[in-house]
Amino acid sequence: MITLAEVQAFCTVARAASTPYTLLQAVEGITAAMGFRYFALVHHIDLLNPGSTAVRLVNYPRNWVDAFEEGRLYAADPIHRASHTTTIGFAWSKVAAMISLNPRDHAVLATARSAGLGEGFTIPAHVPGEVNGSCSFAMRTGEELNAEQLPLVQLVGSFAFEAARKIARATIAPIAAAPQLTERQIECVALVAQGKTDWEIAKILGVGAETVTQHLKDARDRYGVTKRTMLAIRALFDGAISFTDILR
Amino acid sequence: MITLAEVQAFCTVARAASTPYTLLQAVEGITAAMGFRYFALVHHIDLLNPGSTAVRLVNYPRNWVDAFEEGRLYAADPIHRASHTTTIGFAWSKVAAMISLNPRDHAVLATARSAGLGEGFTIPAHVPGEVNGSCSFAMRTGEELNAEQLPLVQLVGSFAFEAARKIARATIAPIAAAPQLTERQIECVALVAQGKTDWEIAKILGVGAETVTQHLKDARDRYGVTKRTMLAIRALFDGAISFTDILR
DNA sequence: CGATCCCTCCCCAGTTCTGGGGATAACGCA
DNA sequence: TGCGTTATCCCCAGAACTGGGGAGGGATCG
């Protein structure tokens, strides 16, 4: 049984880790200390740039990893799918109650079992605008989870993922400084992000359609982009608008 | 100083709570036990929107809540914005290092302080396809956080939010079940998010422009949207694409 | 006072999207 | 074998966007 003090120590180490290798060692250590055999700290795919900035620390059995990649299971993996429906960790044995499993899912789970993966616990990690991720810990086939310590396992998973995320993010070049939009421009951009046309935005704001067109023209200029889609995404990225503004 | 056992007890109670009131009482109790005075367990949505059934358990000072709603600060609240950039809890004093604060943000924070809200700690909660949420705990002005116990506070926040989410799930309309796009569709959407035209995307993918148009047509259909801007933002929100795919 | 910024409105030409309607071929699944 | 899904290509008409140009009024600031 792991203690809170050990978790806090791991937290400190993880937070200070500046390379994947440092973090990997820390995760290996705490995985064993928690009584687990395997871990997988991953972003759920990055189809466009595989490997580049995506988080990926795994010590699963080799034959399972191979099967996973060969079968392109990352998008369909039921554990990953289940992790997209919750904010806290869950035991793999509870997955059937979280999502509906199709025959293919059962096949995936069976393959995992035959590769030596037993019961596991997965902590989801989502940030709007980032590929979904998760941190999983697993036993060998036949061993049982210690339900008592699962809250601590969840903490470890959260800290581990955030540490990996920070390391991955550090490798990304900073984007150009965010220009300041005027209030009116922000209102227009927020409505653009909702898929409104210039005419609709004009009605909503109570001004002429040409005025809206002009505000968006100016806003595009400030960001140095030529498409309203890019405008919306840049504004979203630097916080000029938020998902909260857009989706209801 | 709260103990792990107390957190686990709260976890059990929260998990079993079936009404907002039961949960509210549990949260009130643990808030005090952790040495906090205030809590806010909320979905980040338009609070004034009538008929909204989102999570909302708050005991912040009355005058702050009023100012918050009157000024429609929920969308711009820097604490909420900061919570959209991380997977783990953070102290409010660290917000300036997480996002860039504009004059309006400083005004919001000043208003909060003058309403009696001191230092606080916020645990983000995001599920793909659902509105963002968070669980915050705050002290009175002048009191200090106990850094030692923040990991436990984070656990409490996570469990509390998930419990509230479960209670509200029956009544919350998800933004829409996140549809699964095909690989090709995702590639097209990612390039759309970069501001590329159909013709440019066609060149990049080495297919005809009509094919790209068709993929985007299909993708829009799956999300039930009519504009490519909305398509890009929805795909971004539920993790089909990410900012790192888009911005260099 | 002039300079600068913001909001408002207008015109125009060309490009790009969007929503209809088609079609063919490959693949896996039942 | 047939059925569904995916990827590829095609046509068209109308709506929407984009990048030029210009102009007036109000506010602020030095």
Q: Looking up tokens 């009404």, which residue turns up?
A: B19
CATH 1.10.10.10 in chain B, residue ranges: 183-246
Fold of the CATH domain A4-170: Beta-Lactamase (3.30.450)
Beta strands B133-140; B117-125: pairing state: antiparallel
* Per-residue confidence (pLDDT) for residue B84, from 0 to 100: 85
Tens of pLDDT, residues A89-133: 999 999 888 776 666 677 778 878 888 889 999 999 988 777 788
Share of chain A above pLDDT 70, in %: 86
Q: Do A46 and B7 touch (CB under 8 A)?
A: no
* Contact (Cβ atoms closer than 8 angstroms) between residue A151 and residue B4: yes
Kindly report the average pLDDT of chain B as a whole number.
Answer: 85
Which of A194, A234, A242 is closest, CB to CB, to B230? A194
Of the residues B68, B187, B227, the best mutation for testing chain A's interface (the one with the most A CB atoms within 10 Å of its CB) is B227
Amino acid at position A52, single letter: S
Rounded to an integer, what distance in angstroms lies between the CA atom of residue A226 and that of residue A230? 8
* Per-residue confidence (pLDDT) for residue A68, from 0 to 100: 65
CATH level 2 (architecture), domain A183-246: Orthogonal Bundle (1.10)
Which residues of chain A between 48 and 107 are close to nucleic strand C, CB under 7 A?
103
pLDDT for A57 beyond 50:
yes
Tens of pLDDT, residues B186-202: 999 999 999 999 999 99
Q: For the domain with range B4-169, which CATH number is right: 3.40.640.10, 3.40.50.1860, 3.40.30.10, 3.30.450.80? A: 3.30.450.80
pLDDT for B105 beyond 50:
yes
> Judged by CB atoms within 8 Å, which residues 180-239 of B form the interface with A?
180, 183, 186-187, 190, 192-195, 197, 225-230, 232-234, 236-237, 239
* Per-residue confidence (pLDDT) for residue A207, from 0 to 100: 94
Amino acid at position B142, single letter: G
More confident residue, B167 or B219: B219
Q: Can you give the C-alpha Rg of chain A in angstroms?
A: 22
Tens of pLDDT, residues A140-189: 988 889 988 999 999 999 999 999 998 887 665 555 667 888 889 999 99
pLDDT for B172 beyond 80:
no
Q: Do B126 and A129 touch (CB under 8 A)?
A: no
* Per-residue confidence (pLDDT) for residue B231, from 0 to 100: 96
Helix, strand, coil proportions of chain B in percent (round to 5)? Answer: 55, 10, 35
CATH 3.30.450.80 in chain A, residue ranges: 4-170
- Strand order, beta sheet including B56-58: B56-58, B38-43, B133-140, B117-125, B90-91
SS3 B194: coil
- pLDDT band at residue A47 using 50, 70 and 90 as cut-offs: very low
Q: Which helix (H) or strand (E) holds A56?
A: strand A56-58
CATH 3.30.450.80 in chain B, residue ranges: 4-169
